[in-house]
Amino acid sequence: MDFEEDEAVCIRHWDFSETSQTVGLFSRARGFIRAIAKGSRRERGGFSGGVDLLTRATITIIIKPGVDLATLTNWSMLENFPNTRSDMQANKIAYFAADIVGRLFEAHDPHPNMYGALVHLLRHVGSGSEGETINSNNEFRLLEFQWIALCEAGLQPILGNSQPGSEVIYFDPRDGGRVVENQTPTSWRARVTTITVLDGLRVGAIDPTTNLESVVRANRLLAAYIRDTIGEEPFTMRSLFGALT
């Protein structure tokens, strides 16, 4: 029997019995893992009092070929990102991020860059004292996270060049997120300034002085693109962004 050690964030969990849980973990080396944590709800054991959502830990797992559920034998807490429990906006961002990771990536498909982006976002929104005001930098962090998620999933928007002097252009999610000059039956109207923000992400040179409203619109556009890609609107997306039109 082979034991593997890794580190992971808990992105889903369900009570399996009075003493056990089933969990969805996003790990550095294995990507998304579904596992059963037998005895995790007992006061004593190797689970630091249970496996809680939106916490990071070192883990020990057993993965058997042909078995859907791995066995989680140890969960040693590293971080719990306190603001995700005390601040509503931080909570919404964290749950949305965990939900998107769980929907975009298959089990046992490693994405260490995605794992790093998830931890980075949770540290940013989840740090600070209780009740601390969430600042506008969260919009930039969330935008970077969504972009990395799409790139890691092989869904990076193609974008393209806009006509000089134009204010409005069209973004076609059914054509790989390509920017088109004329409206099509599947394209969405978008401001050029919004596409400019995304193009900055594409080349790795987003301007930190970018107008916050443009960043907010870019976040909403990427969320809508993810919604269109997965074929449904998760509750966590609606909770964070409201109605995406």
Q: Which residues contact 205 (CB under 8 A, 6 or more apart)?
A: none
Q: Do 159 and 104 have their domain in common?
A: yes
Is pTM beyond 0.85? Reply is yes
Q: Could you tell me which residues are beta bridge partners of residue 31?
A: 27
Range of the domain at 215: 83-241
Whether the per-residue pLDDT at 132 is higher than 60: the answer is: no
Final residue of a structural domain among 79, 107, 124: 79
pLDDT-based confidence at residue 3 (cuts at 50, 70, 90): confident
In tens, the pLDDT along 58-90 reads 999 999 888 889 999 999 999 999 999 999 999
Q: Do 123 and 90 have their domain in common?
A: yes
Share of the chain above pLDDT 70, in %: 88
Q: What's the total number of domains in the chain?
A: 2
Final residue of a structural domain among 79, 106, 136: 79
Q: Do 161 and 63 have their domain in common?
A: no
In tens, the pLDDT along 162-187 reads 666 678 899 999 999 999 888 999 99
Query: So what's the pLDDT on residue 134?
Result: 47
Q: Identify the CATH number of the domain in which residue 164 sits.
A: 1.20.1440.120
Q: Do 115 and 44 have their domain in common?
A: no
Q: Do 110 and 37 have their domain in common?
A: no
Helices (H) and strands (E) in the chain, counts: 7, 8
Note whether 134 and 90 are within 8 A (CB). Answer: yes
Q: Do 197 and 233 have their domain in common?
A: yes
Final residue of a structural domain among 56, 79, 102: 79
In tens, the pLDDT along 89-108 reads 999 999 999 999 999 999 99
Q: Do 101 and 50 have their domain in common?
A: no
pLDDT-based confidence at residue 5 (cuts at 50, 70, 90): very high
For residues 99-118, give the mean pLDDT: 96
pLDDT-based confidence at residue 1 (cuts at 50, 70, 90): low
